[in-house]
Amino acid sequence: MIDYLGTHQHLAVDLDLTVNDDGSLLLRSDAQRFYEGPIAFRFPMIFSGRAELRESFDDEAGVYRISLTVTNRRFGFLFGYDGAFTCTFPEAKDAPARLRPRRHERRE
């Protein structure tokens, strides 16, 4: 999976998604690429972090639980958080253009 980050989606991040035995999701970031007009390059990981995000649904509390850590190979732990949230899932059939992805990357 690829996630495009930033207001202009300049940074593309490869993501690996796993479903654990307990039904929770584990998402790990990997390679990163930068795009701006004709400029495109693989972003050096020495200047960035790798994220590990865990998400699950707590049936008793009726909330989603989330935990994120971002580390750098050289500098170690950069930041992280733990929390809980609720959400609604509105119909997306008529989403305005401003909410649709700006970039698409063909992967083979």
Q: What is the pLDDT of residues 37-86, one digit of tens each?
A: 899 899 888 888 999 999 999 999 999 999 999 999 999 999 999 999 99
Domain count, the chain: 1
Question: Does 101 reside within a domain?
Answer: no
Question: Does 7 reside within a domain?
Answer: yes
The conformational region for residue 59 under phi > 0 = left, psi -120 to 50 = alpha, else beta, is alpha
Q: Look at residue 35 and tell me whether its pLDDT is greater than 70.
A: yes
Q: What residues make up the domain containing 78?
A: 2-91
Question: Does 106 reside within a domain?
Answer: no
Q: Look at residue 33 and tell me whether its pLDDT is greater than 80.
A: yes
CA distance 87 to 63: 8
The model's pTM: 0.75
Question: Does 105 reside within a domain?
Answer: no
- How far apart, in Å, are the Cα atoms of 64 and each of 53, 67, 84, 105? 13, 10, 5, 30
CA distance 29 to 85: 22
